[in-house]
Amino acid sequence: MKKADVFRKTYENYLKKISEIDLERIAPIIGGKKSEGGVVIPYIDREYTVGSDGVTDDRGKTASFPVSVVLLKYVLMAPGARPIPNGQWMNFRDFPDAGPLVTYFGSNVIQVLERGFDGRVNLLRQGCLALGAEDSPFASTFDLSVTIPVLPNVTVILNFNDRDDEFPGVANLLFDRTVALCLDMESVAILGVTLAEVILGDREKGQG
């Protein structure tokens, strides 16, 4: 089955479940705003409206399947109260359910950032700042270390050491442990891919 077909099937399944949810009740829990069409949620660099009819961006365009799957899952996994980040930052591979997706995450997120910004750490910094990034607690340890808000209840840390005479650039992406309360690991991996595309300025790559 093609990737697009998998996303479509998952998307349709999630939409059925969304129709059974009280979006007005959960909007404040997930950091969204209730609107006539559903609930409005900021995601990386845009706002999206999530409802039983689908997911649209702030330009009225239907969101891509990867973006839609993440946002629908984020709504469906809404906890009873907003999770409080505990400062326990983890690599993707260290989450219990991440195993089957570790290679995918490494190839499509980490290696993409490393190849894209090797020798261009200042460009990476600019891309992150455009997303509201701030210095992370590890800023003194890396050439670049920033926190990036990607969803109201989800913030990531992007660390990057630029290349030198002996080694190429090295990146890693950290998630607060509480991300597992907001998204499943497949959605976390998709989020990482979209974030890398946005920072690279290739926002439309994952569309469709």
Q: Are residues 130 and 184 in the same domain?
A: yes
Q: Are residues 93 and 183 in the same domain?
A: yes
Q: Are residues 129 and 152 in the same domain?
A: yes
What is the domain range of residue 111?
89-199
Q: Are residues 95 and 70 in the same domain?
A: no
pTM attached to this predicted model: 0.91
User: What string of pLDDT tens digits covers the 208 residues of the chain?
Assistant: 566 677 778 888 899 999 899 999 999 999 999 998 799 999 999 999 999 999 999 999 999 999 999 999 999 999 989 998 888 999 999 999 999 999 999 999 999 999 999 999 999 999 999 999 999 999 999 999 999 999 999 999 999 999 887 888 899 999 999 999 999 999 999 999 999 999 998 644 444 3
Quick check: is 208 in a domain?
no
Q: Are residues 132 and 194 in the same domain?
A: yes
SS3 letters across the chain: CCHHHHHHHHHHHHHHHHCCCCHHHHCCCCCCEEECCEEEEEECCEEEEEECCEEEECCCCECCHHHHHHHHHHHHCCCCCCCCCCCCEEEHHHCCCCHHHHHHHHHHHHHHHHHHHCCCHHHHHHHHHCCCCEECCCCCCCCEEEEEEEECCEEEEEEEECCCCCCCCEEEEEEEHHHHHCCCHHHHHHHHHHHHHHHCCCCCCCCC
Quick check: is 180 in a domain?
yes
User: How many domains in the chain?
Assistant: 2
**Domain stop point among 41, 76, 111:** 76
Q: Are residues 56 and 146 in the same domain?
A: no
Q: Are residues 100 and 182 in the same domain?
A: yes
